């Protein structure tokens, strides 16, 4: 039974990424669509940064993933 007071997008909700199976062709390596939950405040800040810089939010998110992989020694794309 779920608590009716907790929203599906609540900060208390923990969710694993969902692979939607969507694949896109392009000049880069194979790209997979995924779904993650992000705090509303972070989403608003990312949208504003993207709007001001004219760089897609998805580009910033891919860069963040690469940085994390490098930081923790998993190696990103060469």
* Total domain count, the chain: 1
pLDDT on residue 13: 44
Over the stretch 11-39, which tens digit does the pLDDT of each residue have? 444 444 555 555 555 556 788 999 999 99
Query: Rounded to two decimals, what is the model's pTM?
Result: 0.58
76 contacts 65 by C-beta, under 8 angstroms: yes
Mean pLDDT (whole number) for 71-76: 74
- pLDDT computed for residue 28 by the predictor: 60
User: Is the residue at 76 inside a domain?
Assistant: yes
Residues 6-10 have a mean pLDDT of 44
Domain of 57, in residue numbers: 37-78
- Asked whether the beta carbons of 7 and 39 are under 8 A apart, the reply is no
Structural domain includes residue 70: yes
The H or E element that residue 33 is part of is strand 31-35
| Residue 23 covered by a domain | no
SS3 at position 18? strand
- pLDDT, residue 73, reads 82
In a domain, 11, yes or no: no
Mean pLDDT, all residues of the chain: 76
In a domain, 60, yes or no: yes
């Amino acid at each position: 039974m779920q608590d009716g007071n907790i929203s599906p997008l609540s900060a208390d909700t923990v969710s694993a990424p969902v692979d939607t199976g969507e694949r896109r062709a392009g000049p880069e390596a194979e790209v997979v669509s995924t779904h993650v939950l992000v705090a509303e405040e972070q989403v608003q800040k990312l949208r504003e940064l993207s709007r001001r810089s004219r760089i897609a939010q998805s580009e910033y998110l891919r860069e963040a993933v690469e940085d994390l992989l490098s930081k923790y020694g998993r190696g990103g794309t060469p």
